[in-house]
Structure 1
Amino acid sequence: MGFQVDLLTGIAEHLHAGNVGMWSPTNVYGTNDVAITIDQLPIGSEGTPKGPDKAIAMTLYPVTDSGSTDSVIGLNLRIRGARNNRATVKDIADRAFDSLHDLQAVQLGGVPLVRAWRQSGANLPPDDNNRQHASENFYLQVTRTGTNRRD
């Protein structure tokens, strides 16, 4: 896989191991799971076969790349809580913060992470199924090798 998929998979595995949510590479989740997905929240609502209400969608975006192998990658977590329970999105966000903020000197999906920190976040309005949303942005200082990148 490529750099982004490797990194996202490593983050998902880390969040899963930290009991933040459930990572399933095959996108199979129970209705009570907090689904961890790449780029898109699962469709559906409680009781439907398409996915659970509670979920985290992970998306990467570039922040800074120096001429060396040092990079800062932005990680957006779009978090969705349970229907009619606005506290669940806050609980999920707290667990994600505890798992990622100030994480240092680890490998995530084979990508060396120097340090991670939360940069910003926001409460978002509920969707049509009254599921509260939040956005959390983390910065990941990583070592990213490449054809034209050298220390």
Structure 2
Amino acid sequence: MARKVIANNKKALFDFHILERLEAGIALSGSEVKAIRAGRVNLKDSFVKIIKGEAFLLNAHISYLETTNPHYKPDERRPRKLLLHRKQIDKLTGSVSTEGMTLVTLSIYFNERNRAKAEIALAKGKNLHDKRETLKKRILDREVKAALKEH
């Protein structure tokens, strides 16, 4: 499965425990697809919300290109509809209603058929001590790798 990852949300992996991952299509305009191909995407603080039985990607920043028609400048942070099956949306709705659960965007990529996809995840927020533990683990891993390189 060849995926061309355009943008990752590293902050989501640090702030949340990822419980389940899903792939969802994104409804985009033509200029937005071109902007994504150019890598003009920022997923920091983006999340998914289910509104009236439909999933929407909120707070994802897709910049428009300079080559875009000057009369058509789409809102860069507009809500974008995610394309999911009804059963998936119902399952996510039930899961999100649980205390402390949320839906976050992990990455945007193009699949092998050149369709823009978003990897979303059902996640639970980390506490401060969990974040500290993650940082300690990263530091130890770096030290181990450095020690192995020296020998």
TMscore range, shorter length? under 0.3
TM-score by length of 1: 0.27
Relative contact order (C-alpha < 8 Å, sep 6+): which is higher?
2
Q: TM-score, normalising length from structure 2? A: 0.27
Q: Larger helix proportion, structure 1 or 2?
A: 2
